[in-house]
Amino acid sequence: MGGKIPLLVLPWMEVANIAAQMPTKALADYFGALGYPLSFQIGDPLDKDPTDHPENIPPFCRSVAPPPDRFPWPGVVLVSDMSVEGPSTNGTLLDMDRRGASAVFTKSTAFRKGDNEARFEIYAHEIGHMLNLSHTDANDTFPTAMNQWDDRSIVDDRAEVWRQAIQQGSPLQTECLPEYFNSGKRRPLGLPMSADCCKWLAGAPQTDVFPWGGKFKDLSVGGVDDQSIGLIDCYLAIESEGSVAQPVDLQVRISARSIFEAIEIPATVDLRSGVIEIHITSPAGITRKYRCRSLTCGTSRQRLERGRIIRRNYSLVGDANGILFPVAGIYQIEAVLPTLGARSGPVEYNIRPATGPFANPAFQQFLANDLPNDDLAGWCAVDEALDSRDVGTKTKSFLRSKAAARGHRFFMPLEELRREASSRVQERDALLRVVRLRQALDRNTSELKRAVDDAEDIFRATDMSNPSIQYLEHVRQRADVKRHNKEK
């Protein structure tokens, strides 16, 4: 159907100069050729980066969302430095419910080392997600704008890819792409949209394309990579006992089969990247997939050497669709790696009936909604749960962590959390402590570096190569620079 789409660019203050170089004219022309010209407004720099911690993203999205009766409304492109997932993450769709906000990370390896073409493609890719274009839409035989991992980075001649898309592509590609291609004279040129992307933009109603219009239509990263089938072992360990509406602690372990020296896999291995999926089958036999609230994107790959184990910890209670374990009974939980052709196999897990405050349906709904700040009754129920003998220590740590992130309770000392919290809660709180100190106007550099050291210890105890460690190293380097400048 088409239509002009307004976008608001919000730079974090420390990268405002980089955000000012965003190729807005080229991006407007690029999407305009597909029926959706963009208009850009550069907003005032932000003094705090909401992507520094996953808990900060939902309130940020709510703060920039439109009122209920306003549509269309400007989508938000946040320009930041480095993702907490490390430098392999180029960008993130921050809001999978309404597609209203995305982020681009200028300290990602691909952005920092890339040329103008690579940077243009990163912006176009994240804006594409805001228009409801998914990784699975990039299913042509040649690299296109919505591909990820190394499909885009290995292109030597972008003009040749455009010619291939125009000459051999769908009728829509033949019709739409030449306007922007301009015989290959465009700079930056980027990569073309796939046939499925062009089809979606040409036929979908505006509410399914415009930012803030509706849910992201696709949650997977693509089909099975045939070259990886049989190369990866995947294990799932459940680290806690569970009851209805209470968090379940999981660890996913990934390793290369022992007959291989090393194999290449995506650099960002996580739920939010789609490389890991958690499938849950209820006692009634209904299977659902854990639905993240945001989607991370990257083009980098890594080598998984023989003997190395990648571990990822999760503490799951609900997702964007509600409570994961709403009734008592035997569930089957499975970790699936769709791009690597591996799965853990189902693990049976007994969910006991709800007790204490968790038996209250209103409290269950509060948890499913990600503990909204304005639900006072829900927070009163959290206080009740923290004082209840029916609630275990790990669950209390989970609730304290959520409360601390929302500012409802004082942050628990990290030393105490080490003793009783699950691995995932320890990681989350360690990052939260770093973020709080990093954002403090009167921050103590020495205290920040101690918090970074503590956080690194927690992540290294699970996985020495966790990409968040590189983010923490980046924070330490920035702290050193600021201290040096202050001492001058």
Q: What is the dihedral of CA 392, 52, 114, 194, to 10 degrees?
A: 60
- β 342-343/329-337 pair status: antiparallel
Sign of CA dihedral 94, 96, 101, 104: positive
Joined together, the tokens standing for residue 32 give 């305009």
pLDDT tens-digit readout, 328-337: 999 999 999 9
pLDDT tens-digit readout, 115-139: 999 999 999 999 999 999 999 899 8
Cis? peptide before 326, omega within 30° of 0? no
Judged by DSSP in three states, 64 sits in helix
- Report percent pLDDT > 70 for the chain: 91
pLDDT at 225 over 50: no
Judged by DSSP in three states, 486 sits in helix
Residue 3 banded pLDDT, cuts 50, 70, 90: confident
Residue 228 banded pLDDT, cuts 50, 70, 90: very low
| pLDDT at residue number 164 | 93
pLDDT tens-digit readout, 362-380: 888 888 887 888 888 888 8
247 and 398 Cβ atoms separated by less than 8 Å? yes
| pLDDT at residue number 1 | 60
| pLDDT at residue number 259 | 66
pLDDT at 101 over 50: yes
| pLDDT at residue number 425 | 86
Residue 276 banded pLDDT, cuts 50, 70, 90: very high
| pLDDT at residue number 127 | 98
Residue 222 banded pLDDT, cuts 50, 70, 90: very low
Report which of 211, 362, 350, 337 is spatially closest to residue 275, judged by C-alpha positions: 337
Distance from C-alpha of 450 to C-alpha of 460, rounded to nearest angstrom: 15
Residues ≥6 apart with Cβ < 8 Å to 477 = none
94 and 78 Cβ atoms separated by less than 8 Å? yes
- Report percent pLDDT > 90 for the chain: 52
Cis? peptide before 143, omega within 30° of 0? no
Residue 223 banded pLDDT, cuts 50, 70, 90: very low
| pLDDT at residue number 487 | 52
pLDDT tens-digit readout, 17-61: 999 999 999 999 999 999 999 999 999 999 999 998 888 898 899
| pLDDT at residue number 214 | 84
Cα-only R_g, the chain: 23
pLDDT at 226 over 50: no
The predicted model gives 95-106 an average pLDDT of 95
Residue 402 or residue 279, greater confidence: 279
* Whole-number average pLDDT of the chain: 87
Owner of token pair 């968790």: 358
pLDDT at 413 over 70: no
Residue 220 banded pLDDT, cuts 50, 70, 90: very low
- Side chain identity, residue 16: A
The predicted model gives 86-107 an average pLDDT of 95
Residue 418 banded pLDDT, cuts 50, 70, 90: low
Residue 149 banded pLDDT, cuts 50, 70, 90: confident
74 and 67 Cβ atoms separated by less than 8 Å? no
The predicted model gives 340-345 an average pLDDT of 90
